[in-house]
Structure 1
Amino acid sequence: MTTDTALPEKLQSIVDLFRSAPKPLRLQALLEYSKKLPPLPDKYAEHPEFMQPVPECASPFFLVTEPKGDGVEMFFKVPEEAPTVRGYAGILAEGLSGASREEILNIPDQFYMDMGLSELITPMRLRGMGAILMRLKNEVRQGDTAQN
């Protein structure tokens, strides 16, 4: 289990919601987050080559971050045909909105295991979720390096 203090407040609220929900509601909530994933801005929709792939993910998954104050703005490209992975991207987008770069870098690598998702999705998809978070952290680190 992760410690509650390691997660940004919004993300902790989402983790708590999933953790306390019965199994069927967890899957439904994950699917709802897939619908909440914001659309890509035109600059990335028209130029996906600017996004970083996450090849460890079974579904085609791309991400990019942009500095925003002391945090980052993040964008994800995930096909609608991959609703569970898209739902995870929606959770990250909402849960990390407004988080500082330091808060993102301090998120436990397997925080999503506290959400009870291992009962809902395959181990391969769970590994993909871990890879997505690692790529996101790498993007944040690279942004920090580029700013210095």
Structure 2
Amino acid sequence: MTLESPPIVTTSGLCRLQLRAEPAQFGAVRRIVSAYLRLWGRTGLIDSAVVCVTEILANVHRHVNPSECELVLENMPEGVRAAVRDQSSVLPVVVEGENWLGESGRGMFIVANTADLWGTSPVEGGGKQVWVLLREGA
């Protein structure tokens, strides 16, 4: 796996990864996300977190060129927040009930139905951040 830089971890429960959203790296990213959630004692959120992060990264891979992005994981009192920042200002779209047999188009529907909260935020200087909040027992 080739990350743009090694993970930056702080004692406050924050992890930052600079990476290219390439499918060949998704397995390694899932392992990193899983490891941090285990470290933070949030094992009940691992499955949801890896699904959401993978789907958001897949959107970056398909729709953003170049596909460099930043993944930020935050261990917060109310849950775990995962956010992916990229250089495109085009917002993701949730497609409901259309073309379920197609090869694409379901990613944000999966995110919206897996995360407790999700949204997008514009980034100063251009681009956006797509984020999810996952809560245990929600």
Give TM-score scaled by structure 1 length: 0.31
- Considering fraction of residues, name the structure with more helix: 1
Give TM-score scaled by structure 2 length: 0.33
* Greater relative CO (CA pairs within 8 A, separation 6+): 1
- Considering fraction of residues, name the structure with more strand: 2
